[in-house]
Amino acid sequence: MRIPSPAHIMNKLRVGWFSFTCCEDSTILFTELLNTHWDAWKDKLEFVNARVLKTNRELKDLDISFVEGAISSEEHVKKLQDIRANSKVLVAIGACAVTAMPSGWRNTFDEKTKQEIQYLVDRFSHLPRVEPLSKFVKVDDVVPGCPMDENTFLAVLNKYIQSSHSGLDPESK
């Protein structure tokens, strides 16, 4: 795992929050966590790319990207790879990002049902199967659960907040 650059040490962590195919339940839980954690986070985190929170966003020099949802199309793959290329740490958030389920129900359909939906799969250029993030990019941490487990999320986030202040790779501790 890469170490945060010196310029970012003691500065706010540049955070991105992204979603692909999912119900965004973890995004909602995250917005509810803000209710009670914003005061503690506002001097430590800068949300530079979060569609749910703001219009003006940049995909550059992100310290951590939290990515919710499964991957359904080639366009998703490219976007995910772009996020990965611009993020020091990438964390898979929730069951769909980690396992592709339950968004990947169609992976489990019998042949008859697959044929029934094929015209839509074709029309919108779906991938043959719905896939987890790790199929396409390196994932540094996972927060499983449907929705994500809040305590695991807080532990992962705190780990990176602390490591950014010490300048150490969290895994070297």
> What part of residues 64-93 is at the interface with other proteins (CB under 8 A)?
72-73, 76
> 169: helix, coil or strand?
coil
Q: d(Cα 87, Cα 110) in Å, to the nearest integer?
A: 38
Residue 42 binds other proteins (CB under 8 A) = yes
Q: Using CA of residue 76, residue 77, residue 81, residue 82, what is the dihedral sign?
A: negative
Binding mask 106-125 for other proteins (x = CB under 8 A): x-xx---x--xx-xx--xx-
**Tokens 């094929």 appear where?**
118
Residue 48 binds other proteins (CB under 8 A) = no
We find the least distance from the C-beta atom of residue 146 to other proteins, in angstroms, to be: 7
> 131: helix, coil or strand?
strand
Backbone angles phi, psi at 31, to 5 degrees: -65, -25
Binding site for other proteins (CB under 8 A): 19-29, 31-32, 34-36, 38, 42, 47, 51-57, 72-73, 76, 102-103, 105-106, 108-109, 113, 116-117, 119-120, 123-124, 126, 146-147
